A and B are shown apart, each in its own frame.
Chain A
Amino acid sequence: MKGYERRTGQRLVALGLLGALAFNYPILGLFNRAVTVLGIPLLYAYIFAAWALLIAAMALVVERGRAK
């Protein structure tokens, strides 16, 4: 149980740091251009997609770790 807690904690912290990078300069700047994806401005599409992925990863870390 202890090992699970520590491991999950570290994985979540890593995800948090990854998110902090993804939603900041300079990564964010790469998507800040006048291009559209399926009609949606690239920046908006990127932020929401990355956000959803981040949440999915967090869910995976929390829920899968517990099942073991």
Chain B
Amino acid sequence: MLQGWVIVLTSIAYLGLLFGIAYYADQRADRGRSIIASPYIYSLSLAVYATAWTFYGSVGRAAVDGVGFLPIYLGPTLIIALWWVVMRKILRISKQHRITSLADFVASRYGKSALVGGVVTVIAVIGIVPYISLQLKAVSNSFVILLQYPEIVMPATVGAVPVLQDTAFWVASALAIFTILFGTRHLYAAEHHEGMVAAIAFESLVKLLAFLAVGVFVTFVVYDGFGDVFSRAAAERELAPMLTPIESVAGGYGSWVWLTILSMLAIMFLPRQFQVTVIENIDERHLNKAIWLFPLYMLAINVFVLPIAFGGRLHFPDGTVDADTFVLTIPMFERQELLTLLVFIGGLSAATGMVIVETIALSTMVCNDLVMPLLLRMRRLALAQRPDLTGLLLGIRRGAIVLILLLGYVYFRLAGEAYALVSIGLISFAAVAQFAPAVLGGIFWKSGTRRGALAGLAAGFGVWMYTLLLPALARSDWLPRSFLEAGPLGIELLRPLELFGLAGLDQITHAMIWSMMANAGAYVAVSLLDTQSAEEHRQASLFVDVFRRDGGGARLWRGTASAPDLHAVLARFLGAEAADAVFARYARAHGGTWPDPALEADADLVHAVETQLAAAIGAASARIMVAAVAKEEALTIDEARELLDEASQVVAYSHRLEQKSRELEQATRELKAANERLTELDRMKDDFISTVTHELRTPLTSIRAFAEILLDRPDLDADERQRFLGIITRETERLTRMINQVLDLAKLESGKAEWNVASVDLRQLIDDSVAATSQLFKEKGIALETDVAPELPLVAADHDRIMQVLLNLLSNAAKFCGRPDGRVRIAARVAGGDLRVDVADNGPGINPRDRETIFEKFRQVGDTLTAKPQGTGLGLPISRQIIEHFGGRIWVESAPGRGSTFSFTLPIGPPHAGRDRPTLAAA
């Protein structure tokens, strides 16, 4: 059933279906009910990335070196993760400036320079031509092979047939007509090519389904699943090395990395990708879903590449069948007519999708950024005065489409046979990668200048031509072969494939290294040496700071213009109706009506007109048109800077204000905290005073009571009298001791205490204090043992103060010791760089919750209501003050019923500045 006419009719019917979809989508768009306003359609339209090269070429490459084709799809997956940062910025800029193409974007960034736009256009056209020729080659080859069904015969060498009998020529012509009908039926201006996007999305579905169908067929019908294909391949001596393939890929990891980088740049800067991703985007939020949907598409279309490739090698072991055709030839070999036809349609989808979008994108560039600026500059044509230029614009675009496809065909005839599909595609990838420094630098680096961009583009493109394009022509014998082998004029250092002796790399890696170095180097170096014009500076700021300001471009224009003149210019490109709408909108916003000859043409209006124009004919051409009717006073760079700075100053002021208010809040918070602390201190002071008075009153009360008894009862017997006097004396002593301690503590706390710091031998000190308290222990029948290490280092401390601490701890221990067989043990040793003293008793112990409070003033453990206080409650707080003053620590370890151990540490060593500071203060 696969006769020639069936194939041709099916193809035509398929293209007709596409056209129908596009027509329907356009109709819907005109009625304001877009069918492409969906992130899914958007993601599918991005899949125009997968061309005939993917469809046929991936298998071709996989059949040679296994995973070598994958970086082309892994790269986009990785870079798309950065799109959230990079592509959203490009999208926002493009919407704000009504960008119409990649060339327009670059031109607009570098001061709306027509020259930059032109250079980008030329590079894009020349760079993409091989890629288009690849599509022609794929479609015509698949057609020719299909015609021979059921025989499998490779097509004859091109060039052997005259042009008019060459299938590729007819394919090119058909595609040209189709694209013209498709993309240039009328001037879309600012609108999107909604019909085209709908058709492309449909084609993406078709090619995916076709490829999956043939993949499933080969893997699961012809073979018995993935494992079967691979194990059969592993059995073949020739195929086995491809199962651990990276070293076997030409160039190994280096080439893998460069292919990844190359495809990362290609997915952003191929004119057709820029077209669908940026220009045709109708909602920034669609990007979000595309970030994972598009990589998913690429994953899906690659899953079966390896099985098909190995299947092909197993089917056609003698190498007579080109691996690039396995996708088609395996179903043919298996006599699957419908599947074969489906594959052909899938390949046709992949190729036509690419050609349509690419040529529309390129023709827009050629028209807006190359031809129009030139025509507008020719005063003799007086184009700016013509009433309606829409026809001219369409004519230029149609011409450009024909010309580009013709160039593609010519390249196909010249160089088509020397390379596999993949290699041809990579040459184009490397060409568009040259846009990366100018675009990425342009959106993140304000200092990139017009001349810098031009230098970078020229240098990078020059190296690309020399290392990739010329060798391609030489291999096809259009240049002498000696050019490759011996270098131009026999200079070996300049051999295009081993430039300056850089050998051992594959051609693409070699070209990428040199061209990227030349490109980025020239861009940065020239930009740094250059100064920007006012227009450049303005555009640079608008691009780089797009998220920080909105619009604001109008403020940077000064001059005079007449509203009717501006209206006339707009009407020429958009038609009178659209121009009226713009002016009416503007007049309404400024409180006037249109038409009104008195309407003032201020900077805002001029800006509005220029943006509208830019959407139709590109920034550079729009600039020229507006400049022709509006008398603009050139801004100097300083003025522009001033105006821009004004805007950024406002931002800076508000930032500073924000910061000030934040600082104020902080200060308020600190003040509040300080106030709370003060209140707390005040409360503590009050507490202290009331506690002290309370504590002082207790002995005072008992002294007074006994004194009164003595006064009232002179007849008291002598023993009784003696006893009362004894109590009064003891209570007085207690009172004196308490007052002394309060004064002592006050001195310590205020830092006014006197310290006599010297090297102290703690061993001696412990002996002294044990001797001083021995009487007390003996009285109470408590055993006191000492356990002091024989060699104790000296510590820097105040002898009397440490003695005070030791006596306090020992008397405490005596007080709370267990009865009847109390035991107290004092130990001293070196522990962790400190000297540590422990005083342990076997008393009732201390509740965990009291362990910290006993170091506070007037806190004694036990119920103060029932038990008589046995001390002043100031001993431990004073001890803590003393120990901490010398840089030590005091604490208690205890468990109820198991005694308690009071410990303190003192740092070993001579006194140092920090520690005896209070001494100096006291002196």
Residues of chain A touching chain B, judged by Cβ–Cβ distance below 8 Å, are 5, 8-9, 12-13, 15-16, 19-20, 23-25, 28-29, 32-34, 36, 38-41, 43-44, 47-48, 51-52, 54-56, 58-59, 62-63, 66
CB atoms of A52 and B299 under 8 A apart: yes
Per the CB 8 Å criterion, the residue count for chain B at the interface is 40
With known contacts A41-B244, A43-B67, A59-B292, A8–B77 Cβ distance under 8 A = no
Q: Tell me the minimal C-beta distance from B399 to chain A in angstroms.
A: 41
Q: Which of B630-681 contact A (CB under 8 A)?
A: none
Q: Which of these binds chain A: B81-89, B137-145, B443-451?
A: B81-89
CB atoms of A32 and B246 under 8 A apart: yes
Contact of B576 with A by CB under 8 A: no
Closest Cβ neighbor of B252 among chain A residues: A25
CB atoms of B244 and A62 under 8 A apart: no
Q: Tell me the minimal C-beta distance from B77 to chain A in angstroms.
A: 7
Q: Tell me the minimal C-beta distance from A67 to chain B in angstroms.
A: 12
CB atoms of A47 and B70 under 8 A apart: yes
Name the one of A5, A38, A39, A58 contacting B292, with C-beta atoms under 8 angstroms: A58
Query: DSSP majority for the B interface?
Result: helix
Q: Tell me the minimal C-beta distance from A68 to chain B in angstroms.
A: 14
A13 to B80, CA, bound (A): 9
With known contacts A8-B84, A59-B292, A20–B243 Cβ distance under 8 A = no
Contact of B257 with A by CB under 8 A: yes
CB neighbours (8 Å) of A39 from chain B are 225-228, 230-231
Contact of B854 with A by CB under 8 A: no
Contact of B525 with A by CB under 8 A: no
With known contacts A16-B78, A23-B74, A32-B244, A55–B296 Cβ distance under 8 A = yes
Q: A15-B81, A34-B244, A44-B306 are in contact. List 17 more A-B contacts (CB 8 A).
A: A8-B84, A9-B85, A16-B79, A20-B260, A23-B71, A24-B257, A24-B260, A25-B253, A32-B246, A38-B227, A43-B66, A43-B244, A43-B246, A47-B67, A51-B295, A54-B77, A58-B291
CB atoms of A13 and B244 under 8 A apart: no
Q: Which of B272-313 contact A (CB under 8 A)?
A: 288-289, 291-292, 295-296, 299, 302-303, 306
CB neighbours (8 Å) of A33 from chain B are 244
CB neighbours (8 Å) of A24 from chain B are 253, 256-257, 260
CB neighbours (8 Å) of A25 from chain B are 253, 256-257
CB atoms of A51 and B67 under 8 A apart: no
Q: Tell me the minimal C-beta distance from B460 to chain A in angstroms.
A: 23
Q: Tell me the minimal C-beta distance from B74 to chain A in angstroms.
A: 5
CB atoms of A62 and B257 under 8 A apart: no
CB neighbours (8 Å) of B256 from chain A are 24-25, 28
10 contacts between A and B (CB under 8 A): A12-B82, A13-B85, A19-B78, A25-B257, A32-B245, A36-B227, A36-B231, A39-B226, A39-B228, A43-B66
CB neighbours (8 Å) of A62 from chain B are 288-289, 291-292
Q: Tell me the minimal C-beta distance from B285 to chain A in angstroms.
A: 9
Q: How many A-B contacts are there with CB distance less than 8 Å? A: 110
CB atoms of B247 and A32 under 8 A apart: yes
CB atoms of B81 and A55 under 8 A apart: no
Most buried by A among B81, B82, B231, B244: B81
Name the one of A23, A48, A58 contacting B260, with C-beta atoms under 8 angstroms: A23
Per-position binary interface string of chain B over residues 232-251, scored 1 when its CB falls under 8 Å from any chain A CB and 0 otherwise:
00100000000111110000
A43 to B256, CA, bound (A): 14
CB neighbours (8 Å) of B257 from chain A are 24-25
CB atoms of A12 and B253 under 8 A apart: no
A41 to B296, CA, bound (A): 22
CB neighbours (8 Å) of B288 from chain A are 62, 66
Closest Cβ neighbor of B253 among chain A residues: A25
A8 to B88, CA, bound (A): 13
Q: Which 4 A-B pairs have the closest CB atoms?
A: A39-B227, A16-B81, A59-B292, A41-B243
CB neighbours (8 Å) of B71 from chain A are 23
CB neighbours (8 Å) of A47 from chain B are 67, 70, 74
With known contacts A25-B253, A32-B246, A58–B67 Cβ distance under 8 A = no
Q: Which of B114-162 contact A (CB under 8 A)?
A: none
CB neighbours (8 Å) of A38 from chain B are 226-227
CB atoms of B78 and A40 under 8 A apart: no
CB neighbours (8 Å) of B231 from chain A are 36, 39
A19 to B303, CA, bound (A): 18
Name the one of A19, A40, A56 contacting B230, with C-beta atoms under 8 angstroms: A40
CB neighbours (8 Å) of A32 from chain B are 244-247
Most buried by B among A28, A34, A58: A58
Closest Cβ neighbor of B247 among chain A residues: A32
A9 to B155, CA, bound (A): 50
Closest Cβ neighbor of A45 among chain B residues: B226
Q: Tell me the minimal C-beta distance from A4 to chain B in angstroms.
A: 11
A39 to B303, CA, bound (A): 15
A33 to B291, CA, bound (A): 32
With known contacts A8-B84, A39-B225, A34–B77 Cβ distance under 8 A = no
A54 to B77, CA, bound (A): 9
Most buried by B among A8, A15, A23: A23
A38 to B231, CA, bound (A): 10
A47 to B74, CA, bound (A): 9
CB neighbours (8 Å) of A8 from chain B are 84
Most buried by A among B66, B226, B292: B292
Name the one of B77, B228, B289 contacting A19, with C-beta atoms under 8 angstroms: B77
Name the one of B82, B227, B245 contacting A13, with C-beta atoms under 8 angstroms: B82
Closest Cβ neighbor of B226 among chain A residues: A40
Q: Which of B59-109 contact A (CB under 8 A)?
A: 66-67, 70-71, 74, 77-85
Closest Cβ neighbor of A28 among chain B residues: B246
Q: Tell me the minimal C-beta distance from B324 to chain A in angstroms.
A: 21
Closest Cβ neighbor of B246 among chain A residues: A32
A66 to B205, CA, bound (A): 27
Per-position binary interface string of chain B over residues 32-75, scored 1 when its CB falls under 8 Å from any chain A CB and 0 otherwise:
00000000000000000000000000000000001100110010
CB neighbours (8 Å) of A56 from chain B are 292
CB atoms of A55 and B84 under 8 A apart: no
A56 to B66, CA, bound (A): 25
CB neighbours (8 Å) of B80 from chain A are 58
A35 to B771, CA, bound (A): 84
CB neighbours (8 Å) of A23 from chain B are 71, 74, 78, 260
Q: Which of B192-212 contact A (CB under 8 A)?
A: none
CB neighbours (8 Å) of A36 from chain B are 227, 230-231, 234
Q: Tell me the minimal C-beta distance from A44 to chain B in angstroms.
A: 6
Most buried by A among B84, B228, B288: B84
CB neighbours (8 Å) of B243 from chain A are 34, 41, 43
CB neighbours (8 Å) of A12 from chain B are 81-85, 291
Closest Cβ neighbor of A24 among chain B residues: B257
CB atoms of A40 and B246 under 8 A apart: no
CB neighbours (8 Å) of A44 from chain B are 66-67, 230, 306
CB atoms of B227 and A58 under 8 A apart: no
A54 to B292, CA, bound (A): 9
A44 to B111, CA, bound (A): 48
Closest Cβ neighbor of A8 among chain B residues: B84
CB neighbours (8 Å) of A29 from chain B are 246, 253
A9 to B81, CA, bound (A): 8
CB neighbours (8 Å) of A9 from chain B are 84-85
CB neighbours (8 Å) of B289 from chain A are 62-63
A9 to B84, CA, bound (A): 6
